Amino acid sequence: MESEGYDVLVVGGGPAGMMAAGRAAERGKRVLLLEKNRRVGEKLRISGGGRCNITNAEEDVRVLLRAYGNAEQFLYSTFAQFDNKNTFSFFEKEGLPLVVQARKRAFPNTECAADVVQTMEKYIRAKGVTIKTGAEVTSVQSDSSGITGIVCGPFDKAQGKQTVYTAKEYIFATGSVSHPETGSTGDGFNWLTKLGHTVHQPTPTIVPIKVKDEWAHLLSGTSLSFMKITFFVDADGTPKKSFSKTGKLLFTHFGLSGPLILNSSSKVQDLLYAGTVTATIDPYPDTDLGALEKNILAIFDANKNKALKNILKEAVPHGTVKGILALLEGKIDTAKKVHSVSRDERKLIARFLKALPLTIEGLMGFDRAVIADGGVPLDEVDTKTMRSLKVPNLFLTGDLLHINRPSGGYSLQLCWTTGFVAGSHV
């Protein structure tokens, strides 16, 4: 075994790891960054659908931190050192300006996640960080004083050679378990448990929802830009309304996605533990049932001699006619002429359009999760420095911390912030 000494050793070449490594090197530290993949930033390259939602542009830091739920009280001192305004300034300085879009989501002006990776890699190389890719950590050595070394196996196991890398201090930035194909396989959680930390088991929290209904599957790729979804839970034979949200929804081949759904999935998971979960979609939240019936009647009056199935597209949201025809099958003969549609049938169509029914099967897994929760509770970390309160020469960042947050740039901001703070205090 070979041994090399550094001031700081960072495990994980994602956003938090690169920010931590660059910041530490900026302060004159000799920094080694280990990344198990063949290149840094693999998950970052696919974030935001390849566009990379870098941060959220909420100007009020109190409002911003409220998005992190119970972690809010721990994060004021952390964000006082590097917040979303600093993120804007950082990327501007590094030659990648940001643009703000709907719901205060900030993206690189190129809307290309690979440009964010390139910018971060350029930053850490310019600061003198040593980067070793294809370096998979096999174990962490420690004693009563803290971590004493990182044992790293070669990418090609057939070579049989291992290296022990040592440093005065260590930063873990290995991420959680969402999108395991990018290398986020929860290794850091295993090491932290052995080092004496409590680790809450991760669950996919910002993740699409699976539904049973074939009519919804038929609409894969269709989005509703403004609708209301209401969730119900049946724990005792009677469905009870739980909560509603209004916003954008995307139908997929397995169910539902889009910002509205992703930010509802954690609540839905809780409901699934309580009983059978159903939902209704109202594509016309600003139109009451009576007004919708009048709209449908006007369309029918203008098309009396056409088949119902041929004019239904004029009465339903764009792109949804195939699914709604499937939903009406067996309830109305959609092949008959509009003038033969009865008043009760017309009312039935209106009621369906105000409450399209769904049965929730569950959430998708870690492979489709934008974010997974779980990790080390913040009462085991000094959030002024990101230093572990269990292991004196260890710092923790990003998704290794047990913090719930919605989609919309909050997760990457947490990485930039905790990475910067850790890099500032090693």
Type of residue at 309: K
Instruction: Find the range with the poorest average confidence among 49-63, 109-123, 157-171, 186-200.
Output: 157-171
Higher pLDDT, 2 or 91: 91
Model pLDDT, residue 237: 84
Residue 278 β-bridge partners: 232, 359
Do 99 and 248 fall within a single domain? no
The pLDDT of 87-112, averaged and rounded, is 94
Residue 376 β-bridge partners: 401
**Residue 386 contacts residue 425 (beta carbons within 8 Å):** yes
Do 36 and 183 fall within a single domain? yes
Model pLDDT, residue 2: 47
Model pLDDT, residue 351: 94
Model pLDDT, residue 260: 82
Q: How many CB atoms lie within 10 A of CB 2?
A: 9
Do 355 and 254 fall within a single domain? yes
CA distance 304 to 132: 71
CA distance 187 to 44: 18
CA distance 63 to 40: 32
Type of residue at 364: M
The pLDDT of 68-90, averaged and rounded, is 95
Task: Say whether pLDDT at 58 is over 90.
Answer: yes
Task: Say whether pLDDT at 183 is over 50.
Answer: no
Do 249 and 145 fall within a single domain? no
The pLDDT of 409-417, averaged and rounded, is 94
pLDDT (tens digit, 9 = 90+) per residue, 134-166? 999 999 999 999 999 999 875 445 556 788 999
Model pLDDT, residue 373: 59
Do 392 and 296 fall within a single domain? no
Model pLDDT, residue 159: 56
The pLDDT of 311-325, averaged and rounded, is 93
Higher pLDDT, 51 or 279: 279
Do 123 and 32 fall within a single domain? yes
pLDDT (tens digit, 9 = 90+) per residue, 228-262? 999 999 988 889 999 999 988 999 988 898 878 88
Higher pLDDT, 189 or 380: 380
Do 184 and 215 fall within a single domain? no
CA distance 141 to 148: 5
Do 310 and 394 fall within a single domain? no
Share above pLDDT 90 across residues of the chain, in percent, rounded to a whole number: 71
Report how many domains make up the chain: 2
Type of residue at 395: F
Model pLDDT, residue 363: 80
The pLDDT of 163-187, averaged and rounded, is 71
Model pLDDT, residue 160: 61
**Residue 407 contacts residue 206 (beta carbons within 8 Å):** yes
Model pLDDT, residue 263: 78
The pLDDT of 289-297, averaged and rounded, is 94
Boundary (domain end) residue, out of 347, 364, 381: 364
Backbone angles phi, psi at 70, to 5 degrees: -65, -15
Do 234 and 314 fall within a single domain? yes
**CATH of residue 47:** 3.50.50.60
For residue 277, the enclosing domain spans 208-364
Do 106 and 197 fall within a single domain? yes
Do 216 and 175 fall within a single domain? no
Name residue, tokens 């840094």: 40
Question: CA 374 → CA 15, 177, 185, 413, distances in Å?
Answer: 18, 9, 13, 18
pLDDT (tens digit, 9 = 90+) per residue, 326-347? 999 999 999 999 999 999 999 9
- Two tokens, residue 326: 């499937």
Task: Say whether pLDDT at 105 is over 50.
Answer: yes
Do 393 and 344 fall within a single domain? no
The pLDDT of 386-403, averaged and rounded, is 95
In sequence order, the 6+-apart residues with CB closer than 8 A to the CB of 300 are: 311, 338, 341, 346
CA distance 60 to 267: 25
- Two tokens, residue 399: 């998704």
**Residue 240 contacts residue 234 (beta carbons within 8 Å):** yes
Model pLDDT, residue 186: 61
Closest CA to 405 of 369, 381, 380, 361: 369
- Average pLDDT over the chain, rounded to whole? 89
Model pLDDT, residue 400: 93
